[in-house]
Amino acid sequence: MAKVLVAYYSRTGNTKKMAEIISVVLKDEGLQVDIKNISETNVDELINYDIIVFGSPTYYGSMAYQLKQLIDESVKLHGKLQGKIGAAFASAGNVAGGNETTISGILNAFLIHGMIVQGDSRGDHYGPVSLGLPDERAIKECQRFAKRNAVLAKKLFG
Amino acid sequence: MAKVLVAYYSRTGNTKKMAEIISVVLKDEGLQVDIKNISETNVDELINYDIIVFGSPTYYGSMAYQLKQLIDESVKLHGKLQGKIGAAFASAGNVAGGNETTISGILNAFLIHGMIVQGDSRGDHYGPVSLGLPDERAIKECQRFAKRNAVLAKKLFG
Amino acid sequence: MAKVLVAYYSRTGNTKKMAEIISVVLKDEGLQVDIKNISETNVDELINYDIIVFGSPTYYGSMAYQLKQLIDESVKLHGKLQGKIGAAFASAGNVAGGNETTISGILNAFLIHGMIVQGDSRGDHYGPVSLGLPDERAIKECQRFAKRNAVLAKKLFG
Amino acid sequence: MAKVLVAYYSRTGNTKKMAEIISVVLKDEGLQVDIKNISETNVDELINYDIIVFGSPTYYGSMAYQLKQLIDESVKLHGKLQGKIGAAFASAGNVAGGNETTISGILNAFLIHGMIVQGDSRGDHYGPVSLGLPDERAIKECQRFAKRNAVLAKKLFG
């Protein structure tokens, strides 16, 4: 049974809500899921998971610094995350735009760790995006995203 | 046995040389490899491969338009490439810089097709880059890249 | 009086419509504006303008290859566009998403040419985006965009 | 006389060295320059400058979180930085690669603030990059970069 970490930074609760929707589907798909606020996430734990899912609001076209801090600290694990699955989602808070570059920035960090990333040919291609509180469209995107990554996890980790 | 397409655009021969180095290793790893110039590549063929590897020189921070044309035409296959592996490499021709954004641009297209992409925790993280004709460093990066994608292909496609 | 080229690729007419809205405002602001389809644009002409505005639909996360072809060909002018203003807009056609990376890709090409680019602290930060035919929101974004670039042109070119 | 802030995050001293080289040339060009470590930089000061220059090492393909924190906090000034010049430079520390995306990430933040950015048709197009301690090549890139931005500042702010 593959193990998943869903870690998020959320100030308004929108990104947290996305994390919860994603976690429910990942559990329904039979994966073992831990869902954590970034402030509760110790960088050393990353090594225990097969899938790492990061969520962040979009601040000035990239992830919140709180998540970036965790990623910067992950240099101590460099090389040890190779082959894991990485996935990302984003919400738009105060300032519109920049969601795609936020998700791309997180995916780039995963690629630099040697991780595996999958896109989606429908909907939000790089990862789900919610404008404010997740509406029906964003909820469905989060669910598709979780299902797709669960399918990939089963192929890679049994 | 997974099937791979290595398709490249090359004006000076540098990108072609990278394609050849990559193809040799992919064959050594037991994959069935077709290597083609972009001008010989029919978009309909993409569906026949488990792994699609695109190489391009870097022109103004992104791939050569000849490769972009093939990608634009691939819209007729949209949804049918989901779950395949995508990988990219780049060379720098006349104008320095922009290699990372060139590779990112190709990887983004793969993600929009729902494809699977892996990075490398060592060396050229997003995909191999050669400044001019591949030197010893670039040759090794191409070989690591081919080996890594072969390993992923065996996991995903047996 | 600063001279502007607004050049676009448009298959469905949406990007063309954006180009027209932008051109009207640029003229109202007192600039001398040429509006052209990419297929009518000769790369040698780029040198005649103080501001170059490119518009494209979003295909697989980046500009249409027809615009990329023009940009690739602009290497013959390399160094001669330094100090001009560049600006970009995008529409979303068949496949949703990727608009930001499309505009970023065009802006990167302008920066590699040594050109000057300005963002917008309100609305579409990198450049206006229309989902399908420009609606009221997109029309206003195009108008703000044209006005902002006209102001910058007056500062830089009198 | 235009006022410039050169703010950097530096752990090993490489980025600091770049900041110093850039500051010397900006002063020689007659600008009023403040050079500060990020930890000494109060976000409210940003409003006092005509040019904001940020430097960062490259960590996992984007800026250090310490700089991102300052940028996230700059939301309280949103709209008030419109029309200022922004520029960025980067060094590569432990992990190679990702320099271009680091600089792009900073420039995107400036564009979202409505700021003005210029590239360079020669050398490091988006902004200077140093691999480790600045060597002769990197020093020249820093100097060209400072000169270019000083020229732009004189055009825009007299």
CA-nearest of A14, A51, A42 to A131 is A14
Q: Report phi then psi at C133, rounded to 5.
A: -60, 135
pLDDT above 50: residue A95 = no
pLDDT band, residue C96 (cuts 50/70/90): low
Spatial distance between the Cα atoms of A57 and A9, rounded to a whole number of angstroms: 7
How many B/C residue pairs have CB atoms within 8 Å?
A: 82
pLDDT band, residue A148 (cuts 50/70/90): very high
pLDDT above 90: residue A96 = no
The pLDDT score that the predictor gives to residue C37 is 98
Spatial distance between the Cα atoms of B76 and B18, rounded to a whole number of angstroms: 29
Of C61, C98, C124, the CB nearest to A97: C124
- Chain D CB contacts of B97 under 8 Å are 100, 124-126
Dump the DSSP string for A47-65.
Answer: GG-SEEEEEEEEETTEE-H
pLDDT above 90: residue D98 = no
Query: Is residue D152 helix, strand or coil?
Result: helix
Least confident span in A48-62, A92-106, B75-89: A92-106
Mutate to test the interface with A, among D52, D65, D77, D115 (most CBs of A within 10 A): D65
Mutate to test the interface with D, among B125, B129, B140, B141 (most CBs of D within 10 A): B125
CB contact under 8 A, B113 and A121: yes
Average pLDDT over residues C114-123: 95
CB contact under 8 A, C74 and B64: no
φ/ψ bin of D122: left (φ > 0), alpha (ψ from -120 to 50), beta (otherwise) = beta
How many C/D residue pairs have CB atoms within 8 Å?
A: 79
Question: b/e string for D48-84 if b means 16 or more Cβ within 10 A?
Answer: ebbbbbbbbbbbbbbbbbbbbbbbbebeeebeebbbb
**How many Cα atoms within 13 Å fall on the side-chain side of residue D24?**
10
Asked if B100 has any chain C CB less than 8 Å from its own CB, the reply is no
Mutate to test the interface with D, among B60, B100, B108, B126 (most CBs of D within 10 A): B100
What percent of chain D has a predicted confidence (pLDDT) above 90?
Answer: 90
Average pLDDT over residues C2-27: 97
- The pLDDT tens digits of the residues spanning B48-63 come to 999 999 999 999 999 9
CB contact under 8 A, D126 and C117: no
Helices and strands in chain A, H and E counts:
4, 7
Hey, how many other C-beta atoms are within 10 angstroms of the C-beta on A42?
9
Residue A8 near residue A55, CB atoms below 8 Å? yes
The pLDDT score that the predictor gives to residue B93 is 63
Asked if B156 has any chain A CB less than 8 Å from its own CB, the reply is yes
CB contact under 8 A, D126 and B97: yes
The pLDDT score that the predictor gives to residue A93 is 63
The pLDDT score that the predictor gives to residue C92 is 84
pLDDT band, residue D95 (cuts 50/70/90): very low
pLDDT band, residue A99 (cuts 50/70/90): confident
pLDDT band, residue C95 (cuts 50/70/90): very low
Of D75, D97, D111, the CB nearest to A94: D75
Of D61, D101, D125, the CB nearest to B97: D125
pLDDT above 50: residue D157 = yes
Average pLDDT over residues B78-103: 86
- The pLDDT tens digits of the residues spanning B129-151 come to 998 999 999 999 999 999 999 99
Asked if A39 has any chain B CB less than 8 Å from its own CB, the reply is no
Asked if D76 has any chain C CB less than 8 Å from its own CB, the reply is no
The pLDDT score that the predictor gives to residue B123 is 85
pLDDT above 80: residue D97 = no
CB contact under 8 A, B61 and C95: no
CB contact under 8 A, A126 and C97: yes
CATH 3.55.40.20 fits A3-157, yes or no: no
**pTM for this structure?**
0.96
Name the minimum distance, in Å, from the CA of D127 to any CA of chain C: 10
- The pLDDT tens digits of the residues spanning D102-130 come to 999 999 999 999 999 999 999 889 999 99
How many A/D residue pairs have CB atoms within 8 Å?
A: 82
pLDDT above 90: residue B95 = no
- Chain A CB contacts of C100 under 8 Å are 97-101
- The pLDDT tens digits of the residues spanning B18-34 come to 999 999 999 999 999 99
* Residue C21 Cα distances to A128, B13, C49, C88, C145, angstroms: 32, 44, 19, 14, 10
